Amino acid sequence: MKLSIAESLYLIALDDEEGRILAAAEKTVVPGVIAACILELYLLKKIKLDGGNISVVDTIGTGNGILDNVLKKLQTGPSFLDQINSLSSKFKDIQEDLNALLAQRGILKKEETKLLWIPLSDRMDNANYAFEQEIRNNLRAIVFKSAKPSPAFTILFSLIDDCNILDEVFKDKDELIDAEKVGKEVINRSDVDEHLAHVLNQLKPFFGK
């Protein structure tokens, strides 16, 4: 995956036409992004997960500013879900950080909407759709070609499902039915270890799935 899991989730949650977060993801995007960051830090062996509890084992930066900021705030001891709640309140503006990072990479660009000459609001336009298209292609391959998802795409698919935005990728009603079935099975279909599978399953009731 060329982008972080959090960046990938954010791109899917961003309405391409409106340049704003999809209505369905307004309440879930921040905890979803935080969860994605924590789980990517696990894949990078910066933290350990044991029974849903986090242990920080490596504080050296990853080179990704958003991941590094989350890593600095993580604590050894509190549960995965408790830390999502705690960090969601500390990183309320994480969407702005994602906008800035993705704009810096030339993937998004900020545009001002105006009425005559009066600025009304900012919107984020997709300046290089190839990144999002690759993410969508991989997600669709998991559903329609029975592709075995990598741990990163297992996390991403599961979080997209948790955040109630599967229909952004699978807009056809019949396709969505197939995708929702895969969403229920994707954790078991992949090679994620028991610790990662445990916390991914914890996220389902956390997000109200």
Three-state SS string over 61-111 comes to CCCCHHHHHHHHHCCCCCEHHHHHHHHHHHCCCHHHHHHHHHHHCCCEEEE
pLDDT of residue 118: 55
- Phi and psi at 110, nearest 5°, equal -90, 135
Q: Cα–Cα distance between 148 and 146 in angstroms, integer?
A: 6
Can you read off the two tokens belonging to residue 198? 């445990």
Can you read off the two tokens belonging to residue 52? 């849903």
pLDDT of residue 120: 44
pLDDT of residue 208: 86
Can you read off the two tokens belonging to residue 37? 């960051």
pLDDT of residue 123: 62
pLDDT of residue 119: 46
Whole-prediction pTM: 0.92
Contact 58/67 with Cβ under 8 angstroms? no
The tally of CA atoms less than 13 A away on the side-chain side of residue 141 is 12
pLDDT of residue 114: 53
Q: Cα–Cα distance between 164 and 72 in angstroms, integer?
A: 29
pLDDT of residue 135: 96
pLDDT of residue 125: 78
From first to last of its 209 residues, what are the pLDDT tens digits of the chain?
589 999 999 999 999 887 789 999 999 999 999 999 999 999 999 999 998 999 999 999 999 999 999 999 999 999 999 999 999 999 989 999 999 999 999 999 887 655 555 544 566 778 789 999 999 999 999 999 999 999 999 999 999 999 999 999 999 999 999 999 999 999 998 989 999 999 999 999 999 85
Q: Helix, strand, coil shares of the chain as percentages rounded to 5?
A: 55, 15, 30
pLDDT of residue 2: 83
